[in-house]
Homo-oligomer: A and B are copies of this chain.
Amino acid sequence: MSGPAPVGPAPILYVCVTCRAEGSDPDAERPGARLYRELAQAVAARGDDLHVEPVECLSVCKRPCTVAVAAPGRWTYVYGDLSPEASAETILDGVELYARAPEGIVPWRERPQAFRKGVVARIPPLSPAFKDAAE
């Protein structure tokens, strides 16, 4: 992908591995676990500088599958309504833009459609408030 180089430490992509669709087979692999597997494989294949971390529940149970992306000094974004079959490359493209954008804020029109439709929440970076508090 072209554009400016990534800024700062590699982001973390949290993947809810307990996400499952309502009424799905409780004995089958959970869609969230499959998405995690697809993402971990895709990151290794692409060589992206990114930590992929499984999480037991991101509390977005009504909009599976769900991920969150975070990094020090950057906004945290939570996305839902993601497909374990189709979303891995799209998610990684979106995270790559995030890693290159100041404070992780990618202009709306440049975000993947899945991120625009699936946004659940965003949270400011912690550091400025704690810097203010220490002054």
Contact = CB atoms under 8 A, between A and B. Distances in A.
A72 B12 contact: no
Interface of A: 9-10, 12, 14, 51, 53, 55, 57-60, 66, 68, 70-72, 76-78, 119-124, 126, 129-130, 133
B126 A68 contact: no
Contact of A126 (B70, B121, B130): B70
A44 to B, nearest CB: 16
B10 A121 contact: no
Contacts of A57: 122
A109 to B, nearest CB: 16
A38 to B, nearest CB: 20
